[in-house]
């Protein structure tokens, strides 16, 4: 076996770099360095085989073979042609080129891949007058060229197909969760099989299968048909067989993984995938909507990936998340609940404060993975219990007792010796009920009403809605309808509102406004015999003085003049008599009003 160490790079998803670094260290990797969506490390060929076979959060393992700098595709061609390709590729083998470009000097990644292919082909043609063939699907050698600005790295891919393709998935639902992301999220929770695992929206069962494999410590590559390194020139079959058949690290799992979904088709697909993975003994599946959960297994942890409204739509997305929060608070007490979602407004509808949250990328969506500690009682009591259960790092260094001055007055003057009066204990405030209706507007009712198939089912769950007569449909007696004909008093007189009296702008003693002209009855909106506004004292008196707006214009230099006639503004002012003293001009047709 060749124990020569060399550089390797493990690619992963955003947010899982630290988890992958921990996996590599546990396998014996050296010089581990975390980058963006990648982890670089050093090791031998055995470590390369183990990284492909055991790493749950790696997408592919690359082996760099040449580093160089280039500003254009022609330079790339010259540098690639310098490599001794006989060490990696023979004439009867096939190869494919994959390029990843992050540079302003290279505008077309495909053109870089073409020039790399030309350099390899021309190398063999000039030396052997023969060339290996290019094969896009399932080639014997995967070659990767990565360019960041002017730094170029040429690597050979030891994985082939992405490592998230475990091999156990036979069928899938719409928008399935990536296996690498599912395993990374579970490992971020710290779960290792010491409790039950629950996913109430399991879909095709990816989270359940990955959780069971973590609990049993089954290698994620056990179901893969092949790896790219098996076709390498220096492949060690005996070494890989020993790694593949080693079962010494597998563990016992005494708990179970429980999955459910509202869709029977999704449960059937999940059951097929579980059988393919050989985990039917450890995973229990059933068709069960989340709002019907009553007693989940304990102890347990819940990890789920509900719809976001992007690839999978929901008729009531906000109602779904509100229902999730309601079930968490009332059913999953004592659990740690982890939820992966996309929109902040969805998390807000849950109505709980997360204890932890981290950013991850699911496909092309920037998502968050949030943890909720579901406990009984008050938050301060829960935190106090946690603080009492934790071991203190330094018990000897206690805080010194706080001294108080003897001159400080006692808080309670009535108590003897200046001691604080005992604190009055208050009973817990009773739960407030809905004063309008006993049919509370609960999230589970809203969700059930939105997902009901018939109008009768919707009516049964409609929150806060009142039904009369036979439409009530809940077994209770019909509610009597009250109309205006019932709103009569005992003397059979209809109820009338008090009417305002008529408007008289002239003040006390002035005539009221009479639209009918002199001698006609005054305006009284309340009808005959009602109180008029004439009896109300005037709120304002008109003053005939030389003040306007609180300022005396006699003190000013020049009086205001009318621009057209040149008259003094003071001489042209309106008579300050009240409106009641002004004669009412009779117009034609007044008598007809």
Question: Can you name the residues that pair with 499 across neighbouring β-strands?
Answer: none
Q: Report which of 344, 351, 205 is spatially closest to residue 271, judged by C-alpha positions.
A: 205
Per-residue pLDDT at 448: 62
pLDDT per residue as tens, the chain (593 positions): 568 899 999 999 999 999 999 999 999 999 999 999 999 999 999 999 999 999 999 999 999 999 999 999 999 999 999 999 999 999 999 999 999 998 888 877 789 999 999 999 999 999 999 999 999 888 999 999 999 989 999 999 999 999 999 999 998 887 789 999 999 999 999 999 999 999 999 999 999 999 999 999 999 999 999 999 999 999 999 999 999 999 889 999 999 999 999 999 999 999 999 999 999 999 999 999 998 998 899 999 999 999 886 655 566 888 899 999 999 999 999 999 999 998 888 999 999 999 999 999 998 889 999 999 998 755 555 556 556 655 544 443 444 443 333 343 344 444 344 444 444 444 444 555 444 445 555 656 666 666 655 566 555 555 555 444 455 455 555 554 544 444 444 445 555 555 554 444 444 444 444 444 454 444 444 444 544 444 555 555 444 444 444 445 444 455 544 444 444 544 444 444 444 555 555 555 444 44
DSSP-H helix ranges across 81-225: 109-128, 179-189, 206-216
Q: Provide the strand spans (E) within 193-335.
A: 196-199, 257-261, 283-287, 300-304
DSSP-assigned letter for residue 511: P
Per-residue pLDDT at 136: 87
Q: Peptide bond before 299: cis, by omega within 30 degrees of 0?
A: yes
- Does pTM surpass 0.75? no
Per-residue pLDDT at 387: 62
Question: Can you name the residues that pair with 43 across neighbouring β-strands?
Answer: 6
Per-residue pLDDT at 369: 96
CA atoms of 458 and 546, how far apart (whole Å): 74
Query: Residue 102 is inside which H or E element, if any?
Result: strand 94-102
Distances (CA, A) of 215 to 56, 253, 256, 490, 537: 13, 6, 10, 78, 88
Per-residue pLDDT at 546: 47
Per-residue pLDDT at 412: 43
CA atoms of 499 and 540, how far apart (whole Å): 23
Distances (CA, A) of 5 to 122, 237, 561: 30, 19, 104
Assign 485 to helix, strand or coil: helix
Report whether 185 contacts 369 (CB < 8 A).
yes
Distances (CA, A) of 462 to 417, 447, 467, 588: 63, 10, 10, 63
CA atoms of 303 and 433, how far apart (whole Å): 33
- Full strand arrangement of the beta sheet holding 196-199: 283-287, 257-261, 196-199, 300-304, 336-341, 365-373, 356-362
CA atoms of 65 and 141, how far apart (whole Å): 13
The widest CA-to-CA distance across the chain, in whole angstroms, is 127
Distances (CA, A) of 61 to 65, 158, 164, 562: 13, 6, 12, 95
Distances (CA, A) of 535 to 12, 171, 512: 87, 88, 10
Report whether 73 contacts 144 (CB < 8 A).
no
Per-residue pLDDT at 58: 97
Per-residue pLDDT at 375: 81
Per-residue pLDDT at 423: 47
327-330: which pairs have CB atoms within 8 A and are 24 or more residues apart? 327/290, 327/291, 327/293, 327/444, 328/302, 328/352, 328/372, 328/374, 329/374
- Full strand arrangement of the beta sheet holding 30-34: 30-34, 38-43, 6-11, 60-69, 151-157, 141-148, 94-102, 133-134
Report whether 205 contacts 283 (CB < 8 A).
yes
């Amino acid at each position: 076996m060749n124990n020569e160490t060399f550089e390797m790079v493990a690619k992963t998803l955003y947010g899982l770099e630290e988890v992958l670094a921990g996996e590599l260290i546990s396998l014996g990797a050296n010089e581990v360095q975390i980058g963006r969506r990648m982890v670089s490390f050093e090791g031998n060929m055995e470590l390369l085989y183990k990284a492909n076979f055991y790493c749950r959060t790696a997408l592919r393992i690359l082996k760099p073979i040449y580093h160089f700098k280039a500003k254009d595709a022609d330079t790339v061609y010259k540098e690639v042609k310098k490599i001794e390709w006989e060490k990696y590729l023979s004439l009867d083998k096939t190869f494919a080129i994959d390029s990843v470009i992050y540079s302003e000097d290279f505008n077309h990644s495909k053109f870089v891949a073409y020039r790399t292919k030309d350099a390899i082909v021309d190398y063999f043609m000039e030396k052997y007058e023969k060339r290996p063939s290019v094969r896009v699907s399932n080639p014997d050698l995967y070659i990767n060229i990565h360019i960041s600005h002017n730094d170029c790295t040429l690597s050979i891919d030891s994985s082939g197909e992405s490592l998230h393709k475990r091999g156990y998935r036979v069928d899938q639902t719409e928008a399935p969760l990536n296996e690498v992301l599912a395993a990374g999220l579970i490992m971020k929770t710290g779960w290792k099989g010491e409790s039950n695992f629950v996913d109430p929206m399991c879909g095709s069962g990816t989270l359940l299968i990955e959780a069971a494999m973590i609990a049993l410590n089954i290698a994620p590559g056990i179901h893969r048909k092949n790896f790219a390194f098996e076709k390498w020139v220096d492949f060690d079959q005996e070494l890989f067989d020993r790694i593949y058949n080693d079962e010494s690290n597998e563990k016992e799992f005494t708990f179970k993984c429980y999955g459910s979904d509202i869709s029977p088709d999704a449960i059937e697909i999940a059951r097929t995938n579980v059988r393919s993975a050989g985990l039917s003994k450890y995973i229990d599946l059933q068709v069960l909507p989340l709002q019907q959960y009553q007693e989940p297994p304990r102890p347990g942890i819940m990890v789920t990936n509900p719809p976001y409204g992007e690839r999978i739509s929901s008729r009531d997305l906000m109602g779904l998340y509100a229902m999730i929060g309601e079930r968490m608070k009332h059913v999953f007490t004592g659990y740690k609940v982890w939820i992966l979602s996309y929109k902040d407004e969805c998390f807000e509808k849950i109505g709980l404060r997360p204890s932890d949250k981290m950013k991850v990328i699911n496909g092309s969506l920037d998502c968050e993975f949030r943890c909720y500690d579901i406990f009984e009682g008050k938050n301060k009591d829960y935190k106090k219990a946690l603080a009492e259960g934790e071991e203190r790092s330094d018990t000897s260094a206690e805080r010194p007792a706080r001294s108080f001055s003897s001159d400080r007055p006692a808080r309670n003057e009535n108590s003897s010796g200046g001691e604080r009066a005992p604190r009055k204990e208050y009973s817990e405030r009773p739960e407030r009920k809905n004063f309008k209706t006993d049919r509370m507007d609960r999230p589970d009712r809203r969700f059930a009403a939105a997902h009901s198939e018939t109008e009768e089912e919707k009516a049964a769950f409609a929150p806060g809605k009142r039904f009369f007569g036979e439409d009530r449909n809940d077994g209770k007696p019909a509610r009597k309808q009250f109309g205006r004909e019932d709103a009569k008093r005992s003397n059979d007189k209809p109820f009338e509102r008090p009417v305002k009296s008529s408007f008289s702008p002239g003040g006390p003693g002035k005539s009221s406004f009479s639209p009918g002209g002199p001698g006609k009855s005054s305006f009284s909106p309340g009808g005959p015999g009602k109180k008029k506004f004439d009896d109300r004292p005037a709120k304002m008196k008109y003053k005939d003085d030389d003040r306007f707006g609180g300022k005396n214009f006699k003190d000013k230099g020049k009086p205001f003049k009318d621009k057209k006639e040149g008259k003094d503004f003071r001489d042209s002012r309106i008579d300050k008599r009240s409106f009641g003293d002004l004669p009412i001009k009779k117009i034609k047709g007044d008598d007809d009003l």
